[in-house]
């Protein structure tokens, strides 16, 4: 009898030890809290709002740090942020809605709507640019991220949608068209002011100002009451900081911020100047909650006014052999990067994951296979977009459980 009991006791002890080890594994909330707390303690970010949804249910939410450090105003989950390039995905969805309504076509030259917008190649040719090429950043345009003495966009005083408060759209289009195209449209990928040009196309095709079109087709049907091209509640707007050492520096006016990969020029006052053109690439203001709602509609294929097939295109690789567009292993869809090869990208995310962010300090991704949607907005750039913080958040989410 004793010999029969011993194996059973061994099994029970092993199960108990396994259960004990599992109990000691930090929970998802603990892992994410640690990442946020460490980023704040290291003064890599000033404040953040992080939301995580699984199968449409919010499983983690937290506001931490300061929305305004100098005023000692704590970050809140309903804080407003300058969304920067997160605007692109919303405006791209607006464009696709007009396509499905028959007011816009993907492969017709944009001179149908912008007859005077005719940028040239360096050899003097004027190749046609299509809506599809604007959506996929294959139009041959640029962003002016170089040095003033060598960058044609800076020499032409092109706005990136983040600077030059009060500049109107027609003048910026003229400046863009005066700079040479980088390549024959459709042959390469280059991140650019393409979505600002797309915004001008939408105005002509949709017969209304861009803010009106975005509200009518996307934000109002989804109930995104805080997301717009204007600051709806200034008291809730997060201040802007740049990630300098030993602590982030506040940015209230024009600032040139060189990083490892670009020379960024911003002026946060732009959001308050009613004469600033509504930048389709960088001009919206909104909350983490609103953006999560938008991304969940994208994930579930329930964007208002878009066909299922169109929504599938929006989140799938559109560049054929150009599978290194947004970095190793990342292709590009309509308004976001798409994970083509996780091994090349050194990412734990599933193939088909799409992501983007905003240079003021934001990142987001949707992993359709895991039905996971993540929005992480911060007020510190570029750390919140491309620093260690968003990578640590991602890795905490995919840690073995």
CA angle 14/16/21 to nearest 5° reads: 95
Cα separation, 49 vs 81, whole angstroms: 10
**Catalytic position from the list 27, 29, 85, 363:** 85
Q: Are 320 and 335 contacting, i.e. CB atoms less than 8 angstroms apart? A: no
Please name the helix (run of DSSP H) or strand (run of DSSP E) that holds residue 160, with its range, or none. Answer: none
Cα separation, 115 vs 109, whole angstroms: 10
Cα separation, 142 vs 160, whole angstroms: 9
Residue the block writes with tokens 């970095």: 327
Q: Are 197 and 210 contacting, i.e. CB atoms less than 8 angstroms apart? A: no
Token pair in block for residue 315: 């989140």
Determine the 3-state secondary structure of 96 from DSSP.
Answer: helix
Token pair in block for residue 325: 């567009």
DSSP notation for 284-312: -EE-HHHHHHHHHHHHHT--TT--HHHHH
> What is the β-pairing status of strands 285-286 and 362-367?
unpaired
Q: Are 52 and 397 contacting, i.e. CB atoms less than 8 angstroms apart? A: yes
Residue the block writes with tokens 């704590």: 74
Burial of 311 (0-12, 13-18, 19+ CB in 10 A): buried
Residue 85 known to be catalytic: yes
- 122-129, long-range: CB within 8 Å, 24+ apart, which pairs? 122/180, 122/181, 127/181, 127/184, 127/185, 128/185, 129/185, 129/197
Within a 10 A sphere around the Cβ of 110, how many other Cβ atoms?
23
Q: Cite the active site residues.
A: 85
């Amino acid at each position: 009898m004793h010999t029969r009991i011993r194996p059973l006791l061994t099994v029970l002890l092993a199960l108990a030890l396994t259960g004990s080890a599992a109990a000691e594994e930090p929970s998802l909330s603990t892992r994410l809290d640690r990442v946020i707390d460490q980023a704040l303690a290291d003064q890599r970010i000033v404040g953040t709002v992080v939301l995580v949804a699984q199968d449409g249910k919010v499983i983690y939410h937290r506001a931490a740090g300061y929305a305004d450090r100098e005023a000692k105003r704590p970050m809140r989950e309903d804080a407003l942020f300058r969304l920067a390039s997160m605007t692109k995905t919303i405006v791209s969805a607006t464009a696709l809605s007009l396509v499905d309504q028959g007011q816009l076509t993907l492969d017709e030259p944009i001179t149908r709507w912008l007859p005077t917008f005719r940028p040239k190649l360096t050899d003097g040719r004027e190749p046609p640019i299509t809506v599809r090429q604007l959506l996929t950043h294959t139009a041959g345009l640029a962003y002016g991220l170089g040095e003033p003495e060598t960058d044609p966009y800076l020499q032409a005083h092109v706005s990136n949608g983040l600077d030059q408060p009060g500049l109107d759209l027609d003048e910026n289009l003229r400046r863009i068209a005066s700079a040479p195209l980088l390549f024959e449209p459709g042959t390469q990928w280059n991140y650019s002011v393409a979505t600002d040009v797309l915004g001008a196309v939408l105005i002509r095709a949709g017969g209304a100002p861009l803010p009106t079109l975005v509200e009518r087709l996307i934000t109002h049907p989804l109930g995104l009451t805080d997301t717009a091209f204007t600051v709806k509640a200034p008291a809730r707007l997060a201040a802007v900081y740049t990630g300098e050492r030993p602590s982030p520096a506040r940015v209230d006016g024009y600032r040139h911020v060189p990083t490892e990969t670009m020379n960024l020029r911003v002026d946060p006052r732009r959001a308050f100047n009613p004469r600033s053109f509504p930048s389709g690439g960088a001009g919206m203001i909104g909350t983490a909650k609103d953006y999560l709602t938008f991304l969940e509609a994208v994930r579930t294929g329930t964007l208002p006014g878009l066909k299922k097939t169109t929504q599938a295109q929006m989140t799938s690789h559109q560049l054929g052999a150009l599978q290194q567009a947004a970095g190793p292993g990342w292709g590009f869809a309509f308004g976001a990067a798409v994970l083509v090869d996780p091994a090349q990208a050194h990412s734990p995310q599933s193939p088909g994951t799409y992501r983007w962010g905003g240079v003021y300090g934001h990142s987001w991704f949707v992993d359709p296979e895991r039905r996971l949607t993540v929005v992480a907005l911060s007020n510190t750039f570029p750390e919140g977009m491309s620093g260690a913080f968003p990578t640590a958040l991602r890795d905490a989410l995919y840690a073995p459980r």
